[in-house]
């Protein structure tokens, strides 16, 4: 998987939040912020965690089950615009209703909050097949 020169794959992996875009039943796009981690250079994982939610039947999970093509946008904003960048990851997602510890391990390693309270909900695993990006640094 070819990543842009700027930002580096490590910069992308270290970003604290990304946005997940899924297709809904009304032919619209739903976008939500997510925590995420790379399992390897072509696989991203996110999970339903303990943060308060209106329901455990999240729309993003239903969207993925019906339309597994997704986009993940990772970006960095800085008031010094010479440090701006974004990377778009497109791929196919799958919902794992009962993820095992090995699948969640990259999230637990990345986020202190998950070491305190492991994600107990479903996991979304995205197999990335397209990477594009932009950086003010060129």
The overall pTM is greater than 0.85: yes
Q: How many domains does the chain have?
A: 1
- Domain presence at residue 87: yes
- Domain presence at residue 54: yes
Reported as a single tens digit per residue, the pLDDT across 59-105 is 999 999 999 999 999 999 989 998 899 999 999 999 999 999 999 99
Strands (E), 13-122: 18-23, 29-34, 37-40, 43-47, 69-76, 85-96
Residues 83 and 76: their CA atoms lie apart, in Å, by: 8
Reported as a single tens digit per residue, the pLDDT across 28-48 is 999 999 999 999 989 999 998
Strand partners, 130: 90
- Domain presence at residue 90: yes
Mean pLDDT of 108-118: 94
3-state SS, residue 131: strand
- Domain presence at residue 22: yes
- Domain presence at residue 4: no
- Can you give the residue range of the structural domain that contains 27? 9-135
Assign residue 84 the CATH number of its domain: 2.30.110.10
- Give the total residue count for the chain: 138
């Amino acid at each position: 998987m070819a990543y842009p020169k700027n930002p580096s794959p490590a910069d992308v992996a270290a970003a604290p939040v990304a946005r997940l875009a899924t297709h809904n039943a009304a032919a619209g796009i739903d976008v939500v912020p997510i925590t995420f981690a790379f399992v390897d250079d072509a696989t991203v994982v996110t999970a339903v965690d303990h943060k308060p939610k209106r329901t455990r039947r999240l729309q993003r999970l239903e969207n993925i089950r019906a339309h597994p093509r997704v986009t993940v946008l990772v970006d960095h904003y800085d008031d010094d615009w010479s440090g701006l960048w974004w990377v778009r990851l497109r791929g196919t997602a799958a919902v794992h209703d009962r993820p095992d510890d090995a699948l969640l391990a990259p999230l637990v390693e990345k986020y202190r909050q998950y070491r305190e309270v492991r994600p107990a909900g479903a996991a979304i695993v995205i197999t990335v097949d397209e990477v594009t990006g932009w950086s003010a640094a060129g």
